[in-house]
């Protein structure tokens, strides 16, 4: 198939590279000329495991190219995917101006039948508006179909998720685009669910809200664990082994963040309200999430008392491991909260330091994770990078002014930390679990 992708960010670039890997001819479009230049020169503007090799291989094979011209992207494609941002507005509603702009650009460029598939996360009924817009602005008056094709990839595992999706959702208004969409996804051997457009759009918001709900649920359980001496990791394993529940997204911590969950939850609450339903359940999910951060900051203040001029080392800035994305990162929020209390920070992240420099000011960025603790009053783990588990704890204990470690991601074993001489505070547990085997 000939495929165009409008918007070459975390979703668009991964989608483009994976479609090319599947044998399709792909043109990725982005309005950011610098990004397109970087890509054309062989650079990769984001960190995503496996992506660089995939992009290079497919560019070399002539299946993947980059341009700033939507017209070129449309001309060279039968199916055009929209993967532009859908950021939140202050009231929680989605700013759909990027989508509307792209719909107009596509309409202006169309000279023959096209399938326009929306991959951006949008509120239910957006597809209708996209179709209306294309119809209004398409001078050539050619036929087209709008499809809703929400994306479920996770940053940090994006290539893997795209190549082996649990399911592909295709929302259509008629049968006409179904066969072509099936051909697009044929190389990935995934179950394809064909629905109407409204349902497809709802599936994405409903799925992300449910995952956020799971995280808030286990975070609420962690409060009960702390009040009783139970261990939230044992509880998560115990409930997660029930196939009806599942273990994933049951890790207590700082709460969810990133560019999707917070905004998608707000958007879903907002569109529900607009449709006449007060989604109180999801409002509570948001409240628990915000409180989880408050509780962790309080834990630090309760231990260190006055933070003014205290030196704190922070491990992790990305919103989760395996990504350089710091958008709505709880780790960044934690840093800013500590700075507000007057703390001076030494910070490290394996991949996200460059992106963090744009949002985190007046901190010392440290290249070596083991050097972060040097001269600090305490150390904080803020992102669950697996490599932090290999931190030289003996060294950290010696170089910290006081051997205090706050672990918001439950990376370490409380008993071992105690044995090493740390004052160790994590989330929802005081002791290591018993002898469970996983
Ligand atoms: P992003 O900011 O990384 O990328 C968007 C890209 O679109 C940017 O490179 C931007 O320059 C470009 N762009 C903006 N307007 C454009 C225009 N008019 N023409 C061409 N390019 C334009 O965003 P993202 O994280 O890839 O998210 C894109 C969409 O996918 C959002 O709706 C998001 O909610 C959804 N989504 C994201 C993820 C994720 O993990 N990041 C997962 C699933 C769905």
Residue 161, SS3?
helix
Closest to 135 (Cα-Cα) out of 125, 124, 146 = 146
Other Cβ atoms closer than 10 A to 226? 19
Residue 346, SS3?
strand
Q: What distance in Å separates the CA atoms of residue 342 and residue 148, rounded to the nearest whole number?
A: 47
Task: Give DSSP secondary structure letters for 208-276.
Answer: HHHHHHHHHHHHHHHHHHHHHT--HHHHHHHHHTSTTT-STT---SS---TTTHHHHHHHHHHHHHHTT
Q: What distance in Å separates the CA atoms of residue 10 and residue 88, rounded to the nearest whole number?
A: 17
Residue 146 tokens read as 């709008």
Residue 406 tokens read as 């706050």
Q: Write phi, then psi, for 211 (nearest 5 degrees).
A: -65, -40
Q: Is 161 in the pocket of ligand 1 (CB under 6 A)?
A: no
Q: Write phi, then psi, for 418 (nearest 5 degrees).
A: -65, -45
pLDDT under 70: residue ranges of the chain: 431-438
Q: What distance in Å separates the CA atoms of residue 134 and residue 241, rounded to the nearest whole number?
A: 48
CA–centroid distance, 121 to ligand 1, in Å, is 9
Residue 401 tokens read as 């002014």
Beta strand 144-148 with 64-67 is unpaired
What local confidence, expressed as pLDDT, does residue 431 receive? 61
Q: Is 102 in the pocket of ligand 1 (CB under 6 A)?
A: yes
Residue 24 tokens read as 């399709």
Q: Is 330 in the pocket of ligand 1 (CB under 6 A)?
A: no
Give 143-199 pLDDT, tens digit per residue.
999 999 999 999 999 999 999 999 999 999 999 999 999 999 999 999 999 999 999
Q: What distance in Å separates the CA atoms of residue 158 and residue 170, rounded to the nearest whole number?
A: 19
Task: Specify whether 260 is catalytic.
Answer: yes
Query: DSSP H helical segments within 9-124, as ranges?
Result: 10-21, 33-40, 51-60, 70-75, 97-109
Q: Please choose from 10, 32, 87, 154 the residue to mutate so as to test ligand 1's pocket, defined by most ligand atoms within 8 A of CB.
A: 10
Please say whether the beta carbons of 106 and 6 come within 8 A. yes
Task: Match 């139970």 to its residue by tokens.
Answer: 230
Candidate list 18, 138, 225, 260, residue with the active-site label: 260
Q: What distance in Å separates the CA atoms of residue 19 and residue 64, rounded to the nearest whole number?
A: 9
Residue of minimum CA distance from atom 22 in ligand 1: 7
Other Cβ atoms closer than 10 A to 145? 21
Q: What distance in Å separates the CA atoms of residue 385 and residue 59, rounded to the nearest whole number?
A: 31
What local confidence, expressed as pLDDT, does residue 163 receive? 98
Please say whether the beta carbons of 286 and 266 come within 8 A. yes
Please say whether the beta carbons of 323 and 358 come within 8 A. no
Residue of minimum CA distance from atom 14 in ligand 1: 84
Q: Is 259 in the pocket of ligand 1 (CB under 6 A)?
A: yes
Q: What distance in Å separates the CA atoms of residue 422 and residue 289, rounded to the nearest whole number?
A: 28
Q: Is 324 in the pocket of ligand 1 (CB under 6 A)?
A: no
CA distances from 279 to 189, 276, 283 (A): 36, 9, 7
Please say whether the beta carbons of 315 and 353 come within 8 A. no
311 membership: H or E segment, kind and range = strand 311-315
Q: Is 32 in the pocket of ligand 1 (CB under 6 A)?
A: yes
Cα dihedral angle (10, 22, 189, 321), rounded to 10 degrees? -30
What local confidence, expressed as pLDDT, does residue 438 receive? 34
Other Cβ atoms closer than 10 A to 390? 10
Length of the chain: 438
What local confidence, expressed as pLDDT, does residue 437 receive? 39
What local confidence, expressed as pLDDT, does residue 430 receive? 77
What's the longest Cα–Cα distance across the chain?
A: 74
CA distances from 26 to 41, 153, 167, 207, 295 (A): 17, 19, 22, 28, 47
Q: What distance in Å separates the CA atoms of residue 371 and residue 373, rounded to the nearest whole number?
A: 6
């Amino acid at each position: 198939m000939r495929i165009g992708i409008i918007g070459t960010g975390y979703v668009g670039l991964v989608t483009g590279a994976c479609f090319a890997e599947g044998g399709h001819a792909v043109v990725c479009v982005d309005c950011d000329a610098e990004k397109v230049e970087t890509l054309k020169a062989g650079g990769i503007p984001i960190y995503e495991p496996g992506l660089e090799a995939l992009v290079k291989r497919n560019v070399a094979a002539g299946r993947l190219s980059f341009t700033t011209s939507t017209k070129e992207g449309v001309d060279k494609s039968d199916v055009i995917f929209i993967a532009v941002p859908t950021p939140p507005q202050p009231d929680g509603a989605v700013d759909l101006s990027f989508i509307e702009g792209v719909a107009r650009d596509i309409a202006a460029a169309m000279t023959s039948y096209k399938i326009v598939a929306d991959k951006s996360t949008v509120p239910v009924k957006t597809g209708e508006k996209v179709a209306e817009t294309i119809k209004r602005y398409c001078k050539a008056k050619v036929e087209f179909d709008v499809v809703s094709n929400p994306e479920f990839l996770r940053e940090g595992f994006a290539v893997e998720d795209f190549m082996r999706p649990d399911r592909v959702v295709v929302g259509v208004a008629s049968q006409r685009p179904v066969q072509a969409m099936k051909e697009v996804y044929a190389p990935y051997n995934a179950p394809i669910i064909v629905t109407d457009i409204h349902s497809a759009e709802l599936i994405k918001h409903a799925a992300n809200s449910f995952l956020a709900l799971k995280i808030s649920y286990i975070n609420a359980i962690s409060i009960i664990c702390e009040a009783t001496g139970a261990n939230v990791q044992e509880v998560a394993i115990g409930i997660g082994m029930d196939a009806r529940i599942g273990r994933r997204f049951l890790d207590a911590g700082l709460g969810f963040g990133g560019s999707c969950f917070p905004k998608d939850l707000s958007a879903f609450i907002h569109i529900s309200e607009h449709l006449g339903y007060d989604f109180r359940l999801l409002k509570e999910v948001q409240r628990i999430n915000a409180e989880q951060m408050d509780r962790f900051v309080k834990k630090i203040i309760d231990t260190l008392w006055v933070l003014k001029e205290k030196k704190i080392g922070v491990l992790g800035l990305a919103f989760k491991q395996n990504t350089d994305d710091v958008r709505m990162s709880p780790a960044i929020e934690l840093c800013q909260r500590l700075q507000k209390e007057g703390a001076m920070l030494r910070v490290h992240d394996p991949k996200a330091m460059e992106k963090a420099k744009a949002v985190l000011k007046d901190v010392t960025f440290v290249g070596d994770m083991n050097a972060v603790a040097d001269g600090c009053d305490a150390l904080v783990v803020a992102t669950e990078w697996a490599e932090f588990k290999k931190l030289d704890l003996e060294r950290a204990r010696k170089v910290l002014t006081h051997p205090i470690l706050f672990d918001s991601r439950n990376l370490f074993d409380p008993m071992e930390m105690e044995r090493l001489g740390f004052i160790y505070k994590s989330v929802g547990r005081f002791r290591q679990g018993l002898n469970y085997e996983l």
